Amino acid sequence: MLNVHLPQPLYGQHTHERLITADCTRAGQTVHLYPAHYPDFAAPVDAVTLRVGGQILKAEVVGAPETLAYAYTLPQSVAPETAVEIWLHDQFAGRVVPRALPLTRKVTLTAATLFKNDYTQLETWVDYHAALGFERFVLYFNGELARILPEVAACAALRDRDVLLVPWPFAYWAEGLGLGAEGLIAVHGAQADLSQRGRDWHHAQQLMLNHALVVLRGTTDYLGFFDLDEYFRPATGVHSLADLCRHHGQDVYIFQSRWAELPGSEVPAWGDDRHFFDRHPVLAAPEWVPFPSRTKYIARPECIASTGAHVPKATMAGTRMVKVEPEVVGLYHFHCFSGKAPRRNLITPGGVWAEVPDFLPQGMAAEAATA
């Protein structure tokens, strides 16, 4: 079933667009706000207050060392349709009714992604990964929902599966307007490196990652982040990524992303995305090239304390982490979808993992992770 969650962004009264929170969500008596460092402003927890019936609620920071969200506990008497007020620096910013996600059952494995004009690949991407054990797909569209909803709603592969569509119409890049001094100090305190002013920041995707890690807690055992031009490819004998995660019981599974080319006899030429609707097999050429610094992960959402665009920055203390060799489960980045040139022979292989006998399949190794 195709469901839609409409986020509720809230902006401060400033001379230009400054996002206070990308959404206001509710789970039981807990309300979450998602502070955005975008485009040159950060709303620190001390500056943001949430009020109900004139009562100021105390915030708890979710995540560390970087904030994923602010959590507020509502009094038991507050009904689900009750509006809350959001204040910034003692100035009224707006009133919203926190929304719960339209998810009625808990699943084992969920895929979350942020996409733009590549939505024509959704059908193949969803079908392919559903066969690998992904039970739910949370799709953040970096644009206006009305633009794609008719086409997406007409897609049987999406309509007949557990899919949540979330419009995410925030600027993808800061276009040179990175965090200013005010924002840097708010995020990093007095020790902020002000030389970082003006940097580009991965705004839309970073904000989406933080949102998904918090809002999907309790709805899925494991959550995977990867893009529409990336495909997991398990080795022979691994039939379900959900079963693999469940069987080995780790909290975080790290997958090294590899650039991959497509054999012309099997799939369309470079950049010819729409032909994927013909259900060509997703196969990588023999010359796979590792890209050591680029990874994606499948994790228990509650175990990630802070995250980057491609790898968790910090995990909760005691988190059990495993790095998965590409020969066991590869994550292949078919760069042709973005129209860019292949990266073959430009990147040196890397990545060394120790073996743990009689614990995980060959090629996988466990390591304790702490904050």
Q: What is the CATH number of the domain that holds 42?
A: 2.60.40
Q: Can you tell me the mean pLDDT for 306-327? A: 84
Amino acid at 7: P
> Which range marks the domain in which residue 288 is found?
229-371
Whether the Cβ atoms of residue 166 and residue 4 lie closer than 8 Å to each other: yes
Tell me: pLDDT of 278 over 50: no
Question: 127 in a domain, yes or no?
Answer: no
Report pLDDT for 71.
97
- End residue of a domain, out of 50, 70, 96: 96
- SS3 label, residue 183: helix
| Mean pLDDT, residues 242-256 | 89
What is the distance between the alpha carbons of residues 334 and 282, in angstroms, rounded to a whole number?
A: 9
Above 60 in pLDDT, residue 271?
A: no
For 349, residues 6+ apart whose C-beta sits below 8 A from its C-beta are 289, 290, 292
Number of domains in the chain: 2
Q: Comparing 216 with 143, which gets the higher pLDDT?
A: 216
- Who's near 251: CB < 8 A, 6+ residues apart? 299, 300, 303, 315, 319, 320, 321, 369
Of 43, 76, 96, the residue at which a domain comes to its end is 96
Residue 319 lies inside a defined structural domain of this protein: yes
Give the mean pLDDT of the chain. 75
Each residue's pLDDT tens digit, 141-162: 998 888 888 888 888 778 889 9
pLDDT tens for residues 75-134?
A: 998 998 899 999 988 889 899 999 999 998 999 999 999 988 777 778 878 888 898 899
Handedness of CA 188, 171, 85, 91 (dihedral sign): positive
Residue 162, in any domain of the structure = no
Look at residue 163 and tell me if it is in a domain.
no
Is residue 122 assigned to a domain? Answer: no
Domain boundary among 80, 96, 112: 96
- Would residue 49 count as lying in a domain? yes
Assigned domain for 52 exists: yes
DSSP 346: S
pLDDT, greater one: 93 or 295 = 93
307 within a domain of the structure (yes/no): yes
Sorted by sequence, the CB contacts under 8 Å of residue 271 that are 6+ apart come out as 336, 337, 339
